[in-house]
Structure 1
Amino acid sequence: MRGLCFRSPTPSLPPPPRTPRAASPVARRLSDSSAENVVESSAAAIAKWDPESRSPRARVASIFLEDRAEALQFLQCVHDLRKAMDSLPSENSGSEMLLQGQRSMQIAMKRLQKELYHVLSLDGACLDPGSISVRSSGSICDSDSGGEGLRPPSMATTDLRSIVECMISSGYAKECIAMYTVVRKWVVDEAIRRLGVEKFGASQVKTMDWEVLEVKVKLWIDAVKVAMTSLFAGERILCDHSFFASDSIGELCFAEICGDGAARLFKFPAIIARRSTKSPEKIFLLLDMYAAISENWLEIESMFTFDSTSGIRSQALASLVRLGESVRAMLTEFKSTIHKDSSKSVVAGGGVHRLTVYTMDHLYRLAAYGNTLAEIVADWSPPAKPSLPEDYFEGSHSDEAPAPAISLQMAWLILVLLRKLEGKAEQYRDVSVSYLFLANNLQHIISKVRASNLRYLLGEEWVARHGRKLRQFAENHERITWGEVGASLPEDPRAAISPAEASERFRRFNARFEEACGREATRVVADLKLREEMRASLERKVVRAYGEFYDAHWLTVGGETSGATSIKYTPEDVGYYLAGLFSESAVSGIESWPSPSPSPAFSGSSPSLSSGRWHPRTQLRESLVPRGIST
């Protein structure tokens, strides 16, 4: 920057573009007398706008804002003066005429510096980068006339480029660049501040409450969007337009203008990521920040592509890497949290464990960041294949197309949870409750998977496979709890047997059925669909078998005085009881809620359960006695 500012104008730079005006009287090579005349006439025209003169108009007014025609004449005057001075004999460098020209040129540059400040300080709408013909070839006149696919620049941006090119071609690049960068840098820094991006040190962030940090992170995410789509992009376009004649100067100005603001913006995530935390819930803040940088990475690379802005790219990349490392560390911590859970208390009735609720809620939210997580864990060593169940790999992914790292990580986290739940199931003394506990928790897991992006990460085969495991748990629970009820009936319910044996079968069924209902009434089935499936299975196996036995033998038993009292339920009553046990209003729950205490499984005139024993109400019992049988 310093070298560019202090060296003489680059000979290869094109002359400032001509705007429509009267033809210049200056020839390509002026004679000495003509050059002297131009110097004298230019001195008079320039002196009128001397910013240090006593004229209030010259001190306060802006030529470009007050009289554009006069502004164009002023630029032409400076252009002619420069040519005239070039034509004066170089050996007579101390001549009065050359000194007068130099004084006039200095006055003109001070005037243009002031005009540059006026234009750069205009309302942002006047310098709207969207209206600038970016990198258009040709002069400003060409841009003004419009080109195919390009919009003509606003008057302010046209003036800006005219002033910049005039100052640089006159050898005053240093003064031009200094004014341009000071004003625009203030604009950018002020915009960054208004967007809520503050300058923090690691020590400040370390002691800051997370609630405060969350607010600042949300402001930062919004600021990144605005900065990349509007603020930095606008300054890049404005620099490209203003310094169209010199890419190198435009690049350095852009770096000077946006460097501090961009560095502050992209340093903030790295500071947040360095703050250690063992709370897995904070991972979502880091994921949001990672996504904000990752989604704008192509723009970051293209916008800060110069060597002079390589530090900004490096800072953004460093923050991205640091955020990724912190996310991976928090995933590891989350897995450790599941594995280290040491709660010994069992869930009443075999309901859903709070560890299951906590884990799946967390994974449910993580799955919403599927693309971001996939990018973060792409190069992260997945769990070793032998440490996962072999059937996880069967039918899901072939060796030629291995599972994505994110899918393996999610499957591994759920596997850790399932292994932990198996250990907790062993704490139940009643094996049937252990199976119900596993069924309830696996149903909760599958429901969360189906309702989130986990379904796409894990695949339909995973859902189907664990659905089969769920049915096995439910069937084992049913077999242990209700097996004796079915065994109380003959293998062939319609087979001919004596009235005494039939009566004994009815009494045995009553006892086993009431015991099973009493046990089931103290247990929970948290999921409505699972309750319905369990009820339907029992209706097929218990109600149907009892109905066949009842239809075949109730008249026979009813004819026996001693056997009449052995029939307590019709098949419809048995179905009604089962429907009550597994109804939506029956006992069900999740451990994160207050655990329900045993309550009646039926309402109204239905039988009730108390302390695990069966107590049918007298009036209902009478209504259950088959017609034609006296008690």
Structure 2
Amino acid sequence: MEADQDPSNLHLHDDTLTQQIDRFISSHDPPDHILESVQCFSLLFDEEVVQYESGTKKWTLHETSSFLVSVERTSKLLHSLSRFQSQDDYAAAINQISGIHQRAMSFMEDEFKSILDDYQTSHDRDQKNLDEAASSPSDDQPQPDDQPVDDNSKDNFLGYSDDMISNLKKLAKGLIGGGHQTECSELYFFVRRNAIEHNLKLLPFEKFSIDEMQKMQWEPIEKEVSAWTKMFKDFTTSLLPSERRLVDAVFSSSSSAISDSLFGNLARIVLFYFLTFAEGVMMTKRAAEKLFKFLDIYEALRDSIPQVEKYLSDDWLLQLRSVASLINNMLGDAIFTIFGELENSIKADTGKTPVPGGAVHPLTRYTMNYLKLACEYRDTLQQVFREHKKIIDRADSATGSDWDPSSEEVTQNVDEDHGSSFQLQLGRVMDLLDANLEAKSKLYKDPSLSLIFLMNNGRYILQKTKGTGEMRSLMGDPWVRKRSSDLRSYHTNYKRETWTKLLQCLSHEGLSVNGKVMKPVLKERFKSFNAMFDEIHRTQSTWVVSDEQLQSELRVSISAIVIPAYRSFMGRFSQVFTPGRQTEKYIKYQPEDIETCIEELFDGNAAQQGKKR
């Protein structure tokens, strides 16, 4: 630079000045008069920093670019000057420009934090993002991977505008290039961590500690599990991917290790928050009614964790998989144990009081409704049972069995040949229920009522199974056919047990001698029929058949054998009696009366019980 050149007449970005500085930066030897150029550059740069610090100059996208160019040039200049720091003149220049550079860095840090903090407040935008994810149909109707995505609507960086992202990106590049990578990263993490933690506090579920959950009743925890499941899916499929896009955009000019580390730490906060709750639920005392919430948590972890894994670097991925796998394995063990307890609950039901009217037993209702709901989780339960079997097999191999832990075909072949482990468990539960009901049927003194009890419960089991596609598939057509055959046998045996003796009263055999009807014998026949039918009607009208179709089938089949026989008997022998009082005394029922009485059978307590389904 010419000696008579006045710095006040130059601009920070004057071509002559910048060229001299840039030549110095790229050279290995100090050119003549470079300290004068450095002095002039320092004064001009200091003036610009003062303008930004005082607010005289506003931070705009255009001004940002020119300022950041100066910052980058200053950083390189300091590096070049450091080669000559042993020389007093250069040391003084280094101290001067280093102080200005530090003030510029401080201003950029403030601006970086200010833009990051301008999140609307960020929790409002994040919450909107979360609400939109919750109401989006994407969970039920996943879009194909190759379907075009509208970047403006989907990738909105948690509400930060394009200009804000551009500024953040340039500031991050300048700060990192100026040796302030640690400060920049810490600022970013601090602001986004606060935004995430604020959102977590706003979630519509109460996060109990593990110690609190150990002392609580199940009902309030159960309600929170439903909220937890929904919010966990929303965070992992919406907000965390948005956080990844944001950090990648802001630090796109820098090493991916920076964004990997920042996102990993932010993701850990979210996942720790949710996984701690899941762990607390899992550590509560195991009970049958908890099975389905445990399954909900298991499915949420199984389905959502892979969504997060896509955005994590290898180091963070290993940590996440380790923790998630531990919790899911413990959940799987709890699920397996709880479902297995169903067998014990059936075995333990040894009550000696028969159900009034031969109705469906509460154990049957509970077990079948439990299995119906469990079969809605068919795929998950099959996975749980399969994984549990692998663990058992590995344990066996450790004790000297011939199982090859590297062979997946072992488990698959077992499943194909003998049904899945869950399917086999389901079959065992059904067999235990059958044995229990068979024992309970023997509590009835009346064999006919015992058969009605077996019919009621067998029908309920069959209808529940056929009405649940997953359970029907698991039990198989042969099982359904066997059940239907058993019900027909109960029906046939019931008719034989109840109505055979009655029909014997209507037999023509033994009523005539030499073609003449023996009136005393005929009178006894009618009296016996009347007495027996009265007793059957009185007793069996209090019995319960709550399944309308079964009730109708029974009544129709009874009518089909009783009414024709009675009509024929009455038509053949009614004229034997003297019309009037004698006829009325012995012929108590007309065929229509018999039919009406049959239609009143099995109505017992059905009205009071509301014909439970």
Q: Same fold (TM over 0.5)?
A: yes
Q: Which residue of 1 aligns with 2:444?
A: 428
1:336 deviates by 0.8
Q: Measure the CA separation in 2 of the matches of 1:175 and 1:435.
A: 82
* Secondary structure, aligned partner of 1:587: coil
| Matched-pair identity in % | 26
**Hey, what's the Cα distance between the residues in 2 that align with 1:40 and 1:481?**
118
State the Cα distance separating 1:533 from its structure 2 match.
0.7
Counterparts of residues 210-221 of structure 1 (less than 5 Å): 210-221=218-229
Matches within 5 A, 1:69-468: 69-88=62-81, 90-92=83-85, 94-123=90-119, 124=122, 151=151, 154-195=162-203, 201-244=209-252, 245-277=254-286, 279-381=287-389, 400-452=416-468, 453-468=470-485
Provide the rounded CA distance (Å) in 2 between the counterparts of 1:448 and 1:24. Answer: 90
- Residue 397 of structure 2: aligned partner: none
Separation in 1 of the partners of 2:166 and 2:52?
Answer: 26
Alpha-carbon distance between aligned partners in 2 of 1:303 and 1:412, rounded to the nearest angstrom:
44
Give the structure 2 partner of residue 528 of structure 1: 548
Q: Which of 472, 475, 497 is the matching residue for 2:489?
A: 472
| TM superposition shift of 1:309 | 4.6
The C-alpha deviation readout for 1:595-619, integer Å capped at 9, x for no partner, is: 9xxxxxxxxxxxxxxxxxxxxxxxx
Q: Distance in 2 between matches of 1:311 and 1:233?
A: 18
Q: Of Structure 1 and Structure 2, which has the larger fraction of its residues in helix?
A: 2
In structure 1, what is the equivalent of residue 41 of structure 2?
Answer: 41
Deviation for aligned residue 1:96: 2.7
Are the counterparts in 2 of residues 117 and 179 from structure 1 also a CA contact under 8 Å? yes
What is the distance in 1 between the residues matched to 2:46 and 2:38? 12
Alignment-mate amino acid for residue 254 of structure 1:
F
Task: Give the C-alpha shift of residue 331 in structure 1.
Answer: 1.4
Distance 1:466 1:201 in 2: 49
CA distance in 1, matches of 2:422, 2:607: 29
Aligned-pair CA distance for 1:593: 9.0
Q: Whole-Å Cα distance in 2 between the matches of residues 536 and 43 of structure 1?
A: 109
Question: Which residue of structure 1 aligns with residue 498 of structure 2?
Answer: 481
What per-residue deviation string (whole Å, max 9, x for no partner) do you get for residues 152-182 of structure 1? 7721112111111121122221111121112
CA drift of 1:110 comes to: 0.8
Correspondence 1:512 to 2:527:
no
Q: Deviations over 1:435-461 (max 9, x none)?
A: 111111222222322333433433344
Q: Could you tell me how far apart the structure 1 residues matched to 2:203 and 2:546 are? A: 47
* Equivalent residue letter for 1:406: F
| Partner Cα distance (2:272, 2:288) in 1 | 28
**Structure 2: stretches of 5+ with no match in the other structure:** 1-12, 25-30, 130-147, 153-160, 391-412
Asked if 2 retains the 8 angstrom alpha-carbon contact of 1:188 and 1:258, the reply is: no
Contact 1:38 1:81 in 2 (8 A): no
Moved more, 199-208 or 488-497: 488-497
2:83 maps to amino acid: S
- Tell me the distance in 1 between the aligned counterparts of 2:197 and 2:15: 44
Q: Which amino acid aligns with 1:473?
A: Y
Q: What's the offset of the Cα at 1:478?
A: 2.2
TM normalised by structure 1 equals 0.75
**Contiguous gaps of at least 5 residues in structure 1:** 1-20, 131-147, 383-396, 596-631
Q: Partners in 2 of 1:432 and 1:175 — Cα distance?
A: 86
Deviation, 1:531, is 0.7
RMSD after superposition = 3.7
Amino acid at match of 1:488: C
TM-score of the aligned structures, taking structure 2 as reference length: 0.77
SS at match of 1:568: coil
Q: Assess if the C-alpha contact under 8 Å between 2:541 and 2:600 holds in 1.
A: no
Q: For 1:521-578, what per-residue CA distance to the aligned partner results, in whole angstroms no more than 9, with x for missing partners?
A: 2322122111101001111111122223333443455679966743222222211211
Distance 1:404 1:361 in 2: 21
From the superposition, tell whether residues 96 and 399 of structure 1 become closer, same or farther in structure 2 (CA, over 3 Å).
Answer: closer
- 8 Å CA contact 1:356, 1:417 repeated in 2: yes
1:562 & 1:533 partners in 2: Cα distance? 36
Partner secondary structure for residue 303 of structure 1: coil
- Aligned residue in 2 for 1:544: 564
Structure 1 residues 204 and 538: alpha-carbon distance in aligned structure 2, compared to 1, 3 A threshold: same
Q: How many angstroms apart in 2 are the aligned matches of 1:36 and 1:580? A: 117
Measured at CA, do residues 29 and 246 of structure 1 come closer, stay the same or move farther in structure 2, by a change above 3 Å?
same
The 3 A distance-change label for structure 1 pair 78 and 305 is closer
Count matched residues: 533
Question: Relative to structure 1, is the Cα distance of residues 203 and 262 closer, same or farther in structure 2, using a 3 angstrom cutoff?
Answer: same
Quickly say closer, same or farther: Cα 1:218–1:522, change in 2 above 3 A: closer
Shift of 1:40: 3.4
Q: In the alignment, which of 53, 61, 64 is matched to residue 68 of structure 1?
A: 61
- In the alignment, is the contact (CA less than 8 A) between 1:112 and 1:167 conserved in 2? yes
Residue 483 of structure 1 deviates from its aligned partner by: 1.6
> Which residue identity does 1:349 align to in structure 2?
G
Cα drift, residue 29 of structure 1: 4.7
Matched residues in 2 for 1:150 and 1:170: separation?
36
